[in-house]
Amino acid sequence: MYNGYETVHTLGHIHKIPNSINAPLVKNFYEYLKEIGTSENYQNQNLKQLIGFAKSLGTEKTFYDIKNKDEIVLFLNTKIKDNDVDPDKKWITTWNDYLWRIKYFFRWLQTEPEYMCCPNPTQPDLNFTIISNILIYY
């Protein structure tokens, strides 16, 4: 049975996201998921994958800096396992699960007016064409 403590524990990992722009976006996405009434398990799983992706971007790259699908695929490919370790290729399910959760986040980011433009005015707006291409191709 799912325990709400897990989500609280996962929320504690948001501060480990090394980029100061990405961390609050993940937190706000979590608030959105709560607001629309998703289950705590669903919220927790989305948080886990998104925190992992945000960590992989490092300190310099924000979600707004993602310019092509290869930047997302690079992260997703870290989930691929050798046939010796995973002969049934269950990693494919993990890869696809991470992909649709990341896509969901970018769709949310794209449609939220307060997040459409990067909070740093010296950086470009979220590139809707590139993000749309990421969402379409996978």
- pTM greater than 0.85: no
Is 64 within 8 Å of 118 (Cβ atoms)?
A: yes
Among 46, 27, 52, 19, residue whose Cα is nearest residue 100: 46
Q: What is the pLDDT of residues 68-92, one digit of tens each?
A: 889 999 999 999 999 999 999 999 9
Domain ranges of the chain: 5-137
In the chain, which residues have pLDDT < 50?
121-124
The H-or-E segment that residue 48 falls in is: helix 40-57
Is 100 within 8 Å of 135 (Cβ atoms)?
A: no
What per-residue confidence (pLDDT) applies to 121?
A: 41
